[in-house]
Amino acid sequence: MLIGVEKRFIFVANTKSASTSIEHLLMPYSEVIHGGNARRKHSALRKVLGEYRFLFAQPEFAPETFFRFGVMREPIDWMGSWFRYRKGKGRKVQLPREMSFAEYWAETVSKAGDPRKTRRPNQHDIFVDRSGAPIVDVIIPHHRLDAYLGEICELLGIPFELAEKNVSALKAPKTQFIPEELLPEMRAFFERDYALWDQLETLNAAGMEKLRRRVLTS
């Protein structure tokens, strides 16, 4: 997560959503770099607002004075991206070469049902408050990243050139390797992610208009 105090933005770093490339672009304009390891880098916004309360408690630096944004993948595509990434060579947690996506999915569901092993994988948690309401202005759909980020950078006064970093080494088109019979189960599993995903058009229209007005009145 990055906080640009002078430029007045907060970038919420989601997993498997070009966050490394975006951080490379925004880091020179960020006074606060909330990183060090993957867990800190991908912290939920509500937790970071609490951690930096000394900043955000000041009226002139209240959270709503910052443009808060991140990127989200279509949920099934996101899970497919994790599979492709972990099938690539040289990963810390590398999947067996012969493992199918169906086997990977079954393992994911099994672990999600055991709180001793891992938390339930999702994307929505980093963007919402404890009630589940979004606390960001814009969540860019991953497939529209260039268009959104280009305008956001222009409005923030940041030169836009997105370098592709941390890309999965296993080249595979989207989700064609995911068995169709798994799709209903996956949509149910990611119900809360889809609830947020379905809000993005409305959320983003309001958030981008807010940023445009801020620039016009500054």
Shortest CA distance to 12 belongs to which of 189, 183, 198, 196?
196
pLDDT digits (tens, 9 = 90+) for 84-130: 888 877 677 788 889 999 999 999 998 887 655 556 789 999 999 99
Residue type, 170: L
pLDDT on residue 113: 72
The span from the CA of 76 to the CA of 73, in Å, is 8
Mean pLDDT in residue range 14-40 = 90
Angle (deg, nearest 10), helices 19-26 and 145-156:
20
Per DSSP, 59 falls in state: G
pLDDT digits (tens, 9 = 90+) for 148-195: 999 999 999 999 987 665 555 444 446 788 999 999 999 999 999 999
Domain residue ranges in the chain:
2-217
Q: Which residues contact 59 (CB under 8 A, 6 or more apart)?
A: none
SS3 12: strand
pTM of the model: 0.90
